[in-house]
Amino acid sequence: MDFQAYNKILICDDEVVNVRVDSVTIGYEFKIKYPSYRGVFLSCIEALDFYVDGRKLDKNTIIFYLNGKQFLLEELPELFKEYWFISDKATIRVIDPNGIAAGPHEVRVFMRHRVPYTGYFGEYLVLDSDESKTLTVSDQQEVSL
Amino acid sequence: MDFQAYNKILICDDEVVNVRVDSVTIGYEFKIKYPSYRGVFLSCIEALDFYVDGRKLDKNTIIFYLNGKQFLLEELPELFKEYWFISDKATIRVIDPNGIAAGPHEVRVFMRHRVPYTGYFGEYLVLDSDESKTLTVSDQQEVSL
Amino acid sequence: MKQHKIKLGVSLYSFSTEFISDQLDLEGVLKRANEMGYKGVEIVAAQMVPEYPYPSDEWLEYFAGLLKKYDLEPVCWSAYIDMGTRSDRDLTREEIIQCTVNDLIYAKKAGFPLVRTQHAISPEIFRAMISWCKRLDMKLAIEMHHPHHFDVPLWQEYFSVMRGEGKGVLGFVPDFSIFQYRPHQLFLNQAIELGFRSDRLAAVVDNHQTGVPKETAIESDFSAVEREITTEIYEKFNRPARVEQLQEYLDCIFYIHGKFYYLPDDRHDPCVPYEAILTTLRDGGYEGYIASEYEGHHFDADIDSVIQLQRYVAMNNRILNEQEA
Amino acid sequence: MKQHKIKLGVSLYSFSTEFISDQLDLEGVLKRANEMGYKGVEIVAAQMVPEYPYPSDEWLEYFAGLLKKYDLEPVCWSAYIDMGTRSDRDLTREEIIQCTVNDLIYAKKAGFPLVRTQHAISPEIFRAMISWCKRLDMKLAIEMHHPHHFDVPLWQEYFSVMRGEGKGVLGFVPDFSIFQYRPHQLFLNQAIELGFRSDRLAAVVDNHQTGVPKETAIESDFSAVEREITTEIYEKFNRPARVEQLQEYLDCIFYIHGKFYYLPDDRHDPCVPYEAILTTLRDGGYEGYIASEYEGHHFDADIDSVIQLQRYVAMNNRILNEQEA
Ligand SMILES: [Mn+2]
Ligand SMILES: [Mn+2]
């Protein structure tokens, strides 16, 4: 049951923000952190799913922003040279021309991740971090990365 | 015969520098640039060999520094999210407790690299950039990345 | 004096020699373009955008400010489809969409109305970009570059998209490399430098021009290098595109790459049929930009790009303003 | 009052709760360590070094300055062997060497004389580090952490390297997790929160302690969660290490992790046999640091680390100074 307390930091309290290019809405975004006491390379992420208001998001509509770069979710397991520092927030952008409506939304994040130093007798410890949080949408300000 | 003129920028004119940690010599380093008019991801590098004074260097003694990170030569073909901007110099550090002696040294770099947009009819253009340059060793100053 | 509405712009790529040798930085290149009298500019993002492929909003704003400062008009943001980026496989549909949407957004933020993309985008994804283009009020155009040409089947698919659902937002950018019919001077110089005997090289170029088959052009005493370069000449300058085809697809042309490699004077390009091309475009009523696209830097880093561009502008103006079709 | 030369330091990892919740940044953590009266500190580089795994010389200098500012002594730079970093394979020999040499260099630049590494380094690479350690005047020590223990065959190989060619530069860091014999309070709280009925949990803990087999301890009405946690208790707290073994390998101990999870008071740890451990070390003549290594943050983010550390220091001092072996 080690590591369980870190799951609480997975979803950041930051507001959900609609993303616009000039006045054109292209999606919305929120922030997550790596649920551990230490950083790892992104390749330790074995699965990452997002749900908003109970609906699972299509992985092809999601862009993962970290270290000034963009990644598709399918690329994460291959990124063995992209370090996720424990204090850094990743931005999860959901491409959706409708953006997200004002008010509270339930965001759920499921991350399966490998603890890379744990193979004492062969097998690595693989953790499931599954958290939900109600986030508020900020008042539709113009923000983009 | 396109691209040939860019090979001239492969080896930078910067001096070769001995690298020390406190007073302990751990190796030496010099700089290279990507031989093209545009940047690419490091995964476009198919082979990279170094020769100093005619002797081919053991790839396990070489560290490739770019974007504030270290890479082993064997990792380069896998780095499809690490961009090499055309103006950025990569530092090639050779681990060698003897460092390099003062004076001129002939540095040769062989890079085989794929031009990633050229597959007009299937095959990508793969270029061999093979350059040599006589570089001077700076006066053994204390420098490290 | 002929009437026409063709505008001459410049691809900043023409200053590659100066940029990659650190003689000019991006601002220096823009300043030079302005000093030369250019107004419309194209940027090859993968070349001159330091944070590419993920430029920040701050950088894009800074760049838009630079364009204003040097009184330049953003005309074309050039993107690649770097299909062969990975060692293990080609880019996927999702990856191509991601980078193309990114470029549309970056271009818009920097003030460019048009993104140049490439042949590998595929008709399906090209079509999928229509809604993005419409929402963002952006245009997207595929460059037709040698060795592609009008008769490549893929292009017939692209034209049907451009003329169908993509009308007005999807188009193409012909690059005059498709019309090049003989090796340019810098190519020949390089061949000689690599060991091609100059009399033999001249004979090969002559044989190629007059239709002598490659097998005959390769003489029995040719070295490996001579054989290889002779093959390259025969394969590369096979003149697949006909200038009349420009007229036929004029409705799909959003922008043009005025490709050239070396101009010995300010009147005539010995390798690309500029007279026929420009009068065809003019008399066909083309009203957009032709970008001066100097590419000699692929072959020789000692050529002064400014002089080449000056000759290019003079040649274009002469042909456009004076020459009968 | 017993005489001894054991020093109590702190692993900054003990402040994980405050650090990961942004209540304290690195400087705040160092300030807190100093305020608590600690002198010697350990840093887990992958946790608190923002540019890790490639910190710049500038950052390392800045960090050395911070240590000086808060009058702290750099004792141990903790590195991992992240063998399972990649999805497709384990790290190679070259990759392990690269990261280990890096950590030796970073540690030295920041002023640390010792690097903590991990079990996966392999005897061959551990041995290969001797020349690096000697040249850099650095020590390297493998942490022995639960579920490893002295009798794991790999460790017998490590000890022979430490006592052979590696003597003086290669050693080990016992972590007291190897001696933990029953679940700590935060573990039990978490089990109850997950649905383990508290009376049944108490019975399981009791059964485990008194040697009742797992099969008997698992009652027929246990839920899946209760079965799973019972199995975890039986597998995890199987007490493989004997405290006397510390004495046997004392010559190889460079540093110690005083692991604890939750102290209900400042006198006694109910889960780790501190009385036996500390008197054994003291009477065996251990003269190095024991790092206070609070790890309750794995289970509960609402525990005040400072109070836990204060209790820990008091308990250690009481045992070391007063207790007979
Ligand atoms: Mn072009
Ligand atoms: Mn420990």
Chains that contact D by 3+ CB pairs under 8 Å?
A, B
| Segment B119-131, tens digit of pLDDT | 999 899 999 999 9
Q: Is the dihedral of CA D94, D100, D103, D105 positive or negative?
A: negative
**Number of domains into which chain A is organized:** 1
Nearest residue in chain C measured CA to CA from B6? C298
More confidently predicted of C199 and C238: C199
- Answer yes or no: is pLDDT of C306 > 60: yes
Distance CA C239, CA C237 (A): 5
CA of A75 to the centre of ligand 1 (A): 31
Q: What is the pLDDT of residues C210-234, one digit of tens each?
A: 999 999 999 999 999 999 999 999 9
**How many residues are given for chain C?**
325
In a domain, A142, yes or no: no
Mean pLDDT, rounded, for C125-146: 98
pLDDT of residue C239: 75
Q: What percent of chain A has pLDDT over 70?
A: 95
Q: Does A118 touch chain D (CB under 8 A)?
A: yes
Predicted local distance difference test score (pLDDT) of residue C238 = 82
> Is chain C in touch with chain D: ≥3 Cβ pairs within 8 A?
no
**Structure confidence at residue D2 (pLDDT):** 77
| Closest Cα in chain D to B62 | D98
Q: Which of D57, D98, D109 sits opposite B70 (nearest CB)?
A: D98
Is B114–C191 a contact, with Cβ atoms under 8 angstroms apart?
no
- pLDDT tens readout for residues C6-25: 999 999 999 999 999 999 99
Residues facing A71 on adjacent strands: A64
B69 belongs to a structural domain: yes
Residue A145 banded pLDDT, cuts 50, 70, 90 = very low
First to last CA, chain C: 13
- Tell if the CB–CB gap between B71 and A81 is shorter than 8 Å: yes
Who surrounds ion ligand 2 at CB < 5 A? D 175, 257
Asked if D80 and A87 come within 8 Å (Cβ–Cβ), the reply is no
Contact C191, C229 (CB under 8 A): yes
Q: Can you tell me the distance from the alpha carbon of A14 to that of A17, in angstroms, rounded to the nearest whole number?
A: 9
Selecting from C54, C56, C136 the residue whose C-beta is nearest the C-beta of A21 gives: C136
CA nearest C93 in A: which residue? A60
Q: What is the pLDDT of residue B139?
A: 61
Q: Cα(C291) to centroid of ligand 1, in Å?
A: 9
From the CA of C22, how many Å to the nearest CA of chain B?
A: 8
| Closest-CA residue of chain D to A43 | D86
Tell me the C-alpha distance between D33 and D21, whole Å. Answer: 17
Nearest-by-Cβ selection for B97 from D95, D102, D135: D135
Q: How far is CA A47 from CA A72, A74, A77, B60, C91, in A?
A: 12, 9, 8, 33, 21
pLDDT digit string, tens, across residues D139-179: 999 999 999 999 999 999 999 999 999 999 999 999 999 99
**Domain boundaries, given as residue ranges, for chain C:** 5-181+240-320, 185-233
Give the pLDDT score at A1.
72
| Residues of chain C contacting A58 with CB distance shorter than 8 Å | none
- Summary mean pLDDT of chain C: 96
β-sheet bridge partners, residue B32: B11, B90
Token pair belonging to B70: 């270290």
In a domain, residue B1? The reply is no
Interchain touch B–D (≥3 Cβ pairs closer than 8 Å): yes
Can you give the residue range of the structural domain that contains A47?
7-133
Ligand with minimal distance to C292 CA: 1
Kindly determine whether residue B81 and residue A80, on different chains, have CB atoms separated by under 8 Å.
no
How far is D174 from C95, CA to CA, in rounded Å?
A: 48
Rounded percentage of chain B residues whose pLDDT exceeds 70 = 95
Decide if B116 and C82 are in contact by the 8 Å CB cutoff.
Answer: yes
Chain B neighbors of D137, CB-CB under 8 A: 24
Q: What is the mean pLDDT of residues C60-84?
A: 98
Give CA B140 to chain center in angstroms.
21
pLDDT at B141: 55
Q: What is the CATH number of domain D5-181+240-320?
A: 3.20.20.150
Average pLDDT over every residue of D111-120: 98
Mutate to test the interface with C, among A19, A24, A29, A98 (most CBs of C within 10 A): A24
pLDDT value, residue C234? 94
Residue pLDDT, tens place only, D86-103: 999 999 999 999 999 999
In this predicted model, what pLDDT tens digit does every residue of A25-65 receive, in sequence order? 999 999 999 999 999 999 999 999 999 999 999 999 999 99
Rounded distance between C-alpha atoms, residue C135 and residue A26, angstroms: 9
Q: Indicate which of B81, B83, B84, B85 best probes the interface with A, i.e. most A CBs within 10 Å of its own CB.
A: B81
For chain B, the average pLDDT equals 94
Give the CB-side neighbour count of residue C21, counting CA atoms within 13 A. 16
C-alpha of residue D78 to centroid of ligand 2, in Å: 9
The chains found to touch A (3+ Cβ pairs under 8 angstroms) are: B, C, D
Q: Which residues contact B99 (CB under 8 A, 6 or more apart)?
A: B18, B19, B20, B25, B27, B28, B140
Spatial neighbors of D185 by CB under 8 A, at least 6 apart, are: D261, D262, D264, D270
| Statement: residue C177 has pLDDT above 80 | yes
Band of residue B1 on the pLDDT scale cut at 50, 70, 90: confident
Size of interface B-C (CB pairs under 8 A): 93
CA of C73 to the centre of ligand 2 (A): 61
> DSSP state, D88?
S
Give me the DSSP letters along C63-94. Answer: HHHHHHHTT-EEEEEE----TT-SSSSPPPHH
Do residue C98 and residue A72 have CB atoms under 8 angstroms apart? yes
pLDDT in tens, B31-86: 999 999 999 999 999 999 999 999 999 999 999 999 999 999 999 999 999 999 99
Q: How many Cα atoms within 13 Å fall on the side-chain side of residue D68?
A: 8
Residues A61-106 pLDDT 10s:
999 999 999 999 999 999 999 999 999 999 999 999 999 999 999 9
Paired tokens of C271: 């390798």
Output the CA D142–ligand 2 centroid distance in Å.
Answer: 10
Of B38, B44, B87, the CB nearest to C85: B44
D87–A124 CB contact, under 8 Å: no
Candidate from D20, D22, D187 with C-beta closest to A6: D20
Task: Tell whether the model's pLDDT for residue B136 goes beyond 80.
Answer: yes
Within a domain: residue B29? yes
Residues 129-148 of D with CB under 8 A from A: 145, 147-148
Is A138 among the domain residues? no
How many helices, marked H, and strands, marked E, lie in chain C? 14, 8
Rounded distance between C-alpha atoms, residue C316 and residue C1, angstroms: 13
Q: Decide if B81 and A82 are in contact by the 8 Å CB cutoff.
A: yes
Chain A from 66 to 85: CB within 8 A of any B CB? 69, 71, 75, 78-82
pLDDT tens digits, one per residue of A9-32: 999 999 999 999 999 999 999 999
Average pLDDT over residues D52-60: 97
How far is the centre of ligand 1, averaged over its atoms, from the C-alpha of C292 (Å)? 10
The average pLDDT across C123-129 equals 98
Name chain C contacts of B46, Cβ cutoff 8 Å: 87
pTM of the model: 0.95
